[in-house]
């Protein structure tokens, strides 16, 4: 049974979302560490201004380095913001899936039911073929035929 708006998550989907959240947090951690290093570089470069002649050649060299570091820092900040937005979206989705699974316990294990149904159909086919095989003993063929009928009844439930 599908939800009226097509939202039909499973426990597997929940695990996938949790895995994605961990991956995003790891990426964010790497970016945050890079940002900290860039900020330290800016501080170091700022301290290099001390003792340098204003608008001298060294001043402009330091300034150019600081501009490059600031540009990298802006890029890292944008990436962190993107990751934060993605984290927020995935967390919301995770909460919705948890809520859905909690309030739709009747759907729990539906994936397992599909696997069982598939195996029952395979078993039915196997014994149907057995029942058709004229080289088999008649009583065994009858038993195989009855078994396929029983499997049909189970599948109809």
- Is residue 108 predicted with pLDDT exceeding 70? no
Most confident of 40-44, 55-59, 122-126, 149-153: 40-44
Q: What is the mean pLDDT of residues 142-152?
A: 84
Indicate if the pLDDT at residue 2 is higher than 60: no
- Tell how many helices (H) and how many strands (E) occur in the chain: 4, 0
Choose between 76 and 119: higher pLDDT: 76
Tell me which residue has tokens 């159909």: 121
> Which residue has better confidence, 3 or 78?
78
Mean of per-residue pLDDT scores for the chain:
85
pLDDT for residue 42 is more than 50? yes
pTM as predicted: 0.60
87 neighbors 32 (Cβ within 8 angstroms) = no
Calpha distance 131→141 (Å, rounded): 4
Rounded to an integer, what distance in angstroms lies between the CA atom of residue 129 and that of residue 141? 9
pLDDT exceeds 60 at position 4? no
Q: How many other CB atoms are found less than 10 A from the CB of residue 38?
A: 19
**Band (19; pLDDT cuts 50, 70, 90):** very high
Are the C-beta atoms of residues 70 and 41 closer than 8 Å to each other?
A: no
pLDDT at site 107: 54
Residue 98 pLDDT: 87
Residues 42 and 36: their CA atoms lie apart, in Å, by 10
d(CA 70, CA 144): 77
């Amino acid at each position: 049974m599908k939800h009226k708006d097509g939202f039909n998550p499973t426990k597997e989907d929940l695990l996938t979302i949790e895995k994605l959240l961990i991956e995003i947090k790891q990426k964010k951690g790497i970016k945050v560490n890079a940002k900290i290093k860039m900020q330290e570089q800016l501080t170091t470069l700022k301290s290099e201004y001390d003792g340098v002649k204003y608008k001298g050649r060294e001043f402009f060299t330091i300034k150019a380095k600081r501009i490059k570091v600031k540009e990298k820092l802006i890029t890292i900040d944008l990436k962190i913001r993107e990751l934060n937005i993605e984290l927020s979206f995935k967390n919301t989705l995770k909460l919705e899936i948890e809520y859905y699974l909690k309030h739709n316990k009747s759907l729990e294990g539906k994936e397992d039911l599909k696997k069982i149904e598939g195996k029952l159909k395979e078993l039915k086919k196997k014994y149907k073929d057995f029942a058709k095989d004229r080289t088999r003993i008649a009583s065994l063929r009858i038993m195989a035929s009855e078994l396929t009928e029983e499997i049909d009844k189970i599948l109809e439930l």
